[in-house]
């Protein structure tokens, strides 16, 4: 279709706009140079049957994005528009590092719909298969792990992809690391309460569609497992298991053809029969005969891959372990040879000057051998013993900080931010200090870890049986929330007989149990005359919100529009999962961590699957030029991501662990930036856990 560049009216084939009397242009050309939301459309990348993809740029942030624009004629069809909107909704609901991110959604000046998404630079599996045929086994496993994790996350959130195929998988490199992304949730479908969904026709690609999808029957996650199994089969063999030019042809092949095992089709490499079993099970015609969950498929394939490595005389590779490209070895080897030559020359000059008879050939050979050895050892992971030694050092650093009254607060805050149970021992140790404010923070951190264990409960009981103060009140409240009626009554007694401060503190805690007190606590916050006082009374919003008091929740949501980033962060942390990902991204438009608060904001975004935010935290941690306080907070945020299991790839985890090891072992950092060293120690405890 054609568009008037002045009034943006649409025409079928009219060369001039009758209203403005200017030449019309093709709809794919008009958008270049225009703004779509905050992004400027820079150039067109590709054009397909449903729409056009452009490169866009945020003029302030400099971030480049892909903008997918639906064709004008298709924007008139409600079913197509629903598919387009469904893609944005599904991706944002799932929020996974191996699914392409979607940042925004809107309409162009001439009314067509668009979505703004992560710009990927790489090749689809279809392009790789077409150019090279069957893929190397290491790449197959890398793709299986990444896309399997993405589909597993989608299934947990109740979504079926329904169009898993090589064209919808992108492999590329970013920051020296390979990544794999699942694309196009345009025909994804939300599961109903019965855990099935009507197929709504037979949308999809026939060669990768399950028998039940081809038959128009109800679908569940096992249909995606079948499609993914077909992709794995093609990656291993270079051919689809059930060929056919149409839906009927593919269905006929499913009924009449038994696909040979991948080990029979692939003669250039040895494939274990256990891989055959895993793949053939995934593409079984009966849904009940397949792997029932994506987790089962990944475990079966992983065991088969390990068996393949053992049969080839190689140790099993850990799931997600990064591959090192031959280019890295080539560059490392070249560097080693160059280094050897330089050392040889220097050695020759020194020896000649000191009248010692050593030939340059001997010196060069020794130096080259040393350089080659260093290059061969460079890609290896640190051994277990160095990591164990670093963990012991980290524990000593944390213990020293907790024992020091002036440093204990920093340690407690860091552990609270990370939220890992394996550090509860340090929190319990901090309770020995008599500082009531510190004790209150410790109790708050222990509460965030969940139901207290026996040792923790004993310490809380001891603390709650003291006279009323902020620490004992919080301890009694934690016990009461876990069913201790005696301490609930103790809170009520303190509230009835205590002084003004005690009444206010107990009111906030009792609001969890008493609807009338929720209203009273909320009004106490609302009556505060200054912002500073209101910040001090955040607990009067937090507890009623956790008890389901709507007005408190609405006020917390309003805090997301505050000018103060720290206020917004606190509100977002309290709202937690009740805060939508879209609202979270709208409230925190942070790209680089220039302050501790900005690092915290990136951490919140990364928890919702924003890979860019997670990578920015990783990059910041490794930059010596960044303020030590900011690097320290990045370490803590990455520790929180690891504790929650949302950090992303194994490569990213290893990169962070290595950076934390370097920070921890650096004595200059320990002396000049003790907070950075301490927070790196806290984060390393989490990253050392498998």
- Token digits for 43? 């150039």
69 CA to centre of own chain: 26
- Tell me the torsion sign for CA atoms 434, 436, 438, 443: positive
Contacts of 520 (CB under 8 A, 6+ apart): 507, 511
Residue matched to tokens 């990927």: 120
Three-state SS at 351: helix
Distance CA 28, CA 71 (A): 9
Residue with tokens 């019309």: 24
How many Cα atoms within 13 Å fall on the side-chain side of residue 438?
20
Q: Residue 118 burial (CB < 10 Å; 0-12/13-18/19+)?
A: buried
Q: How far apart are CA 333 and CA 335, in angstroms?
A: 5
* Distance, CA of 657 to CA of 653 (rounded, Å): 6
> Which tokens belong to 424?
């509860």
> Which helix (H) or strand (E) is 184 found in, with range?
none
Q: Is 514 a catalytic residue?
A: no
- Using DSSP, state whether 197 is helix, strand or coil: strand
Quote the Cα angle for 97-100-102, to 5°. 110
Q: What is the DSSP string of 120-155?
A: --EEEHHHHHHHH-SPPHHHHHHHHHHHHHHHHHHH
Q: Tokens at residue 386, please?
A: 């160095």
Closest CA to 605 of 596, 617, 595: 617
280 vs 282: CA distance, rounded Å: 5
Place of tokens 């270049």: 32
Contacts 24+ apart (CB under 8 A), 135-142: 135/235, 135/236, 137/236, 137/269, 137/271, 137/305, 137/308, 138/317, 138/323, 139/171, 139/235, 139/323, 140/232, 140/235, 140/236, 141/301, 141/302, 141/305, 141/317, 142/178, 142/180, 142/323
Joined together, the tokens standing for residue 153 give 């996350």
Question: Radius of gyration of the chain from Cα atoms?
Answer: 30
Instruction: State how far the Cα of 594 lies from the Cα of 592, in Å rounded to an integer.
Output: 6
Asked whether the beta carbons of 572 and 579 are under 8 A apart, the reply is: yes
Active-site residue identified among 27, 79, 138, 163: 163
User: φ, ψ for residue 54 (rounded to 5)?
Assistant: -120, 160
Q: How far is 208 from 187, CA to CA, in rounded Å?
A: 14
Where b means 16+ CB within 10 Å and e means fewer, 341-367 reads eebbeebbeebeeeeeeeeeeebbeeb
3-state secondary structure (DSSP) of residue 511: coil
User: Catalytic site residues?
Assistant: 163
């Amino acid at each position: 279709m054609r568009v008037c560049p002045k009034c943006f009216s649409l025409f079928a084939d009219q060369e001039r706009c009758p209203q403005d009397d200017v030449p019309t242009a093709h709809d794919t050309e008009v958008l270049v140079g225009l703004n779509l939301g905050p992004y400027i459309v820079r150039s067109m990348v590709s054009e397909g049957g449903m729409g056009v993809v452009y490169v866009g740029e945020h003029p302030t942030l400099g971030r480049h994005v892909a903008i997918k624009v639906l064709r004008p004629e298709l924007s008139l069809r409600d079913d197509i528009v629903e598919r387009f909107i469904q893609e944005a909704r599904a991706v944002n609901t799932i929020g996974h590092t191996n699914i392409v991110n979607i940042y925004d959604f809107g309409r162009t000046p001439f009314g067509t719909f668009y979505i703004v998404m992560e710009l990927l630079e790489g090749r689809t599996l279809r392009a790789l298969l077409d150019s090279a045929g069957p893929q190397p086994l290491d790449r197959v496993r890398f793709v299986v792990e990444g896309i399997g994790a993405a589909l597993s996350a989608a299934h947990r959130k109740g979504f079926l992809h329904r169009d898993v195929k090589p064209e919808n998988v992108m492999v590329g490199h970013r920051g020296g690391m390979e990544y794999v992304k699942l694309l196009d949730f345009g025909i994804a479908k939300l599961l109903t309460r019965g855990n099935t969904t009507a197929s709504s026709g037979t949308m999809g690609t026939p060669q990768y569609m399950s028998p039940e999808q081809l038959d128009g029957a109800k679908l569940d996650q096992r249909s995606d497992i079948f499609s993914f199994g077909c992709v794995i089969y093609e990656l291993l063999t270079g051919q689809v298991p059930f060929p056919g030019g149409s839906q009927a042809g593919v269905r006929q092949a499913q009924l009449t053809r038994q696909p040979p095992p991948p080990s029979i089709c692939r003669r250039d490499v040895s494939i274990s029969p256990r891989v055959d079993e895993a793949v053939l099970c995934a593409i079984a015609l009966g849904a009940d005969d397949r792997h029932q969950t994506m987790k089962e498929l990944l475990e079966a394939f992983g065991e088969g891959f390990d068996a393949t490595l053992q049969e080839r005389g190689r140790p099993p590779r850990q799931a997600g372990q990064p591959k090192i490209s031959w280019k890295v070895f080539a560059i490392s080897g070249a560097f080693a040879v160059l280094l050897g030559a330089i050392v040889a020359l220097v050695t020759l000059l020194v020896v000649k000057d000191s009248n010692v008879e050593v030939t340059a050939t001997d010196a060069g050979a020794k130096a080259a051998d040393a350089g080659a050895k260093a290059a061969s050892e460079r890609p290896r992971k640190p051994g277990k013993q160095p990591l164990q030694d670093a963990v012991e050092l980290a524990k000593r650093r944390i213990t020293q900080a907790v024992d020091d009254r002036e440093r204990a607060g920093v340690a407690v805050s860091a552990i609270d931010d990370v939220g890992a149970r394996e550090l509860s021992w340090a929190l319990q140790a901090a309770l020995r200090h008599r500082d009531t404010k510190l004790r209150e923070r410790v109790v708050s951190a222990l509460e965030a870890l969940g139901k207290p264990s026996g040792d923790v409960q004993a310490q809380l009981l001891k603390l709650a049986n003291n006279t009323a103060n902020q620490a004992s009140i919080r301890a009694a409240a934690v016990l009461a929330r876990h069913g201790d009626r005696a301490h609930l009554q103790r809170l009520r007694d303190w509230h009835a007989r205590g002084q003004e401060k005690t009444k206010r503190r107990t009111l906030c805690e009792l609001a969890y149990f008493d609807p009338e007190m929720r209203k009273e606590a909320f009004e106490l916050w609302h009556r505060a005359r200054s912002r500073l006082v209101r910040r001090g009374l955040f607990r009067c919003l937090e507890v009623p919100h956790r008890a389901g008091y709507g007005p408190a929740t609405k006020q917390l949501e309003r805090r997301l529009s505050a000018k103060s980033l720290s206020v917004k962060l606190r509100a977002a942390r309290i709202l937690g999962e009740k805060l939508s990902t879209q609202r979270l991204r709208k409230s925190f438009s942070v790209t680089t961590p220039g302050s501790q608060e900005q690092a915290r904001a990136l951490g919140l975004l990364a928890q919702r699957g924003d890979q860019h935010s997670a990578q920015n935290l990783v990059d910041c941690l490794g930059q010596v030029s960044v303020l030590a306080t900011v690097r320290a907070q990045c370490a803590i945020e990455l520790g929180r991501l690891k504790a929650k299991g949302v950090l992303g790839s194994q490569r990213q985890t290893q990169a962070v662990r290595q950076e934390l090891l370097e920070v921890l072992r650096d004595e200059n950092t320990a002396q000049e930036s003790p907070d950075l060293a301490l927070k790196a120690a806290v984060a390393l405890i989490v990253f050392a856990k498998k």
